[in-house]
Amino acid sequence: MNKFVNLATQDGVAVITINNPPVNALSPGVPEGLVEALDAAERDPSARAIVIIGGGRTFIAGADIKELELAASGRGSGPPEFHGILARIEDSTKPVVMAIHGTALGGGNEVAMAGHYRVAVPDAQIGQPEVNLGIIPGAEGTQRLPRLVGVAAAIDLCVSGKPIRAPEALKLGLIDRVIEGDLLAGAVAFARAIADKGGALPKTRELSDKLGSEFVNASIFAAGRDQARKTRRNMIAPLMAVDAIEAAATLPFDEGCKKEREIFEECIASDQARALIHAFFAERAVAKIPDIPKETAVYNIRQAAIIGAGTMGGGIAMACANAGIAVLLKEVEQTALDRGLAIIRKNYENSVKKGRFSQEVMDQRIALIHPQLTYDGFAQADLIIEAAFESMELKKRIFGEIDRIAQSDCVLASNTSTLDIDEIASVTSRPHMVIGLHFFSPANVMRLVEIVRGKATSREVVATALALAKKLGKVGVVVGNCRGFVGNRMMLPYMREAQFLVEEGATPEQVDRALTNFGMAMGIFAVDDMGGIDLAWRVRQEYKHLEKPGVRMPIVLEKLFHLGRYGQKTGAGWYRYDENRKPTADPEVHALIEKTAHEGGIERRHISDDEIIERSIYIMINEGAKILEEGYALRAADIDVIYLTGYGFPAYRGGPMWYADTVGLKQVRDRIREFHEKHGEFWEPAPLLAKLADQGETFADYDAAREQSLAVA
Ligand code: 3H9
Catalytic, out of 90, 130, 504, 614: 130
Whether 246 is a known active-site residue: answer no
Catalytic residue (choose from 110, 260, 504, 623): 110
- pLDDT tens digit sequence for 46-60: 999 999 999 999 999
The per-residue pLDDT for 709 is 67
The number of the ligand 1 atom at minimal distance from the alpha carbon of 80 is 8
Is residue 112 within 8 A of residue 100, CB to CB? The reply is: yes
C-alpha–C-alpha distance, residues 287 and 470, integer Å: 9
Q: What is the pLDDT of residue 707?
A: 80
Query: Which CATH number applies to 488-631+635-708: 1.20.120.50, 2.130.10.10, 1.10.1040.50, 1.10.3470.10?
Result: 1.10.1040.50
Q: Which of 65, 103, 472 to mutate to test ligand 1, by most ligand atoms within 8 A of the CB atom?
A: 65
Supply the pLDDT for residue 713.
43
Residue 206 has pLDDT above 80, yes or no: yes
Q: What is the pLDDT of residues 169-191, one digit of tens each?
A: 999 999 999 999 999 999 999 99
Ligand 1 site, residue 142, Cβ cutoff 6 A: no
Residue 546 carries which DSSP code? G
**Residue 69 binned pLDDT confidence (cut-offs 50, 70, 90):** very high
Give percent above pLDDT 70 in the chain.
99
20, 23, 24, 267: residue to mutate for ligand 1 pocket, most atoms within 8 A of CB? 23
Q: What are phi and psi of 712, to 5 degrees?
A: -65, -45
Give the model confidence (pLDDT) of 500-524 as tens digits. Answer: 999 999 999 999 999 999 999 999 9
Q: How far is CA 664 from the centre of its chain?
A: 25
Which of 188, 87, 100 is CA-nearest to residue 140?
87
CB of residue 685 inside a 6 A radius of ligand 1: no
Class of domain 5-269: alpha beta
Which residue's CA lies nearest to atom 54 of ligand 1?
23
Question: pTM of the prediction?
Answer: 0.95
Q: Report pLDDT for 708.
A: 72
DSSP label of 358: -
According to the model, what pLDDT value does residue 540 have?
78
* Reported confidence tier of residue 611, pLDDT bands at 50, 70, 90: very high
Give the pLDDT confidence score for residue 111 in this predicted structure: 98
Q: Is 130 a catalytic residue?
A: yes
Q: Which helix (H) or strand (E) holds 49?
A: strand 49-54
Does 3.40.50.1260 match the CATH number of domain 303-479? no
| Domain spans, the chain | 5-269, 303-479, 488-631+635-708
Predicted pLDDT at 711: 59
Bond from prior residue into 80 cis (ω within 30 degrees of 0): no
Mean pLDDT of 337-356: 95
201 Cα–ligand 1 center, Å: 32
Q: 83-90 and 107-114 helices cross at what angle (nearest 10)?
A: 30
The protein residue with its alpha carbon nearest to ligand 1, atom 19, reads 62
